[in-house]
Chains A and B, each alone.
Chain A
Amino acid sequence: MNLICNLFSSIFPSLEGDGSQREREQKIDSSMRFAVLGLIKGSVFWLLVASLLGLIVSVKLISPTYLSEYAWLTYGKAYPAFWNALVYGWLFNAGLACVAWIIARLGGRPIGNSGVLIIATAAWNLAVFIGLFGIFRGDQTPYRMLEFPTYAAPFLFAAFIGIGIWILLAFKARAYRSSFASQWYALAGVFCFVWIFTVAQVMIFSLPAQGVFQSVVAAWFGGNLIGLVVAPFAFATIYYLIPKALGQHIIGYRQSGIAFWSWIFFSSAAGLASLVNGPFPAWVASVGVVASFGLFLPLSVFTMQFLTSLFASFSKIWDTVSVRYVFYGVVAFIVATVLTIIGSLREVQELTQFSQFADGVRYLFLVGFAGMAFTGMVYYILPRLLNKELPNSSLADLQFWMQGLGIFLIAVGMLSGGYAHGSLLNGSTADTIDILKATDSYLFLTALGFVIAAFGNFAYAVSFIWILLSPRTEKEKSAGLIEPAPELEYTHS
Chain B
Amino acid sequence: MQDDQEQPHLPGVDASQASDESVLRVHAQIRRKRIEGSPIAFFTATALIIVFVFAWFYQRRYFAEYDSTSVLHDRQDIAAMEAYKNRPLEPEGPVVVDGGKVYTQQCVACHQGSGQGLAGAFPPLAGSEWVTGAPEISIKVLLAGLGGEIQVKGNTYNGAMPAFGAVLNDAEIAAVITYIRTEWDNDAGEVTADQVAAIRADIGSRGAWTAGELSEHF
Contact = CB atoms under 8 A, between A and B. Distances in A.
A321 interface: yes
Contacts of B95: none
Contacts of A244: 16-18, 20, 23
Given A180-B27, A255-B41, A323 B58 contact: no
Interface in A470-486: 481-486
Interface string A279-316: 00011001001100110110111001100100000000
Contact of A251 (B28, B29, B40): B40
A282 to B, nearest CB: 4
A180 B24 contact: yes
B166 interface: no
A243 B68 contact: no
Contact of A297 (B26, B30, B31, B44): B44
Contact of A486 (B10, B12, B17, B25): B17
A139 interface: no
A297 B45 CA distance: 9
A490 B12 CA distance: 28
Given A178-B24, A252-B40, A286 B12 contact: no
A166 interface: no
A250 B43 contact: no
B89 to A, nearest CB: 33
A441 interface: no
Contacts of B50: 296
B104 to A, nearest CB: 41
Q: Specify which of B13, B20, B34, B59 lies most central, judged by the most chain A CB atoms within 10 Å of its CB.
A: B20
A294 B40 contact: no
Is chain A's binding surface mostly helix, strand, loop or mixed?
Answer: helix
Given A180-B27, A249-B30, A488-B22, A286 B59 contact: yes
Interface string B61-72: 011000010110
A432 interface: no
B11 interface: yes
Interface in B21-61: 21-31, 33-35, 38, 40-41, 43-44, 46-48, 50-51, 54-55, 58-59
Contacts of B91: none
B4 interface: no
A185 interface: no
A286 B70 CA distance: 12
B17 A485 contact: yes
A492 B25 CA distance: 15
Q: Closest 4 CB pairs between A and B? A: A247-B17, A389-B12, A252-B40, A488-B18
5 contacts: A108-B21, A180-B28, A245-B17, A397-B10, A482-B15
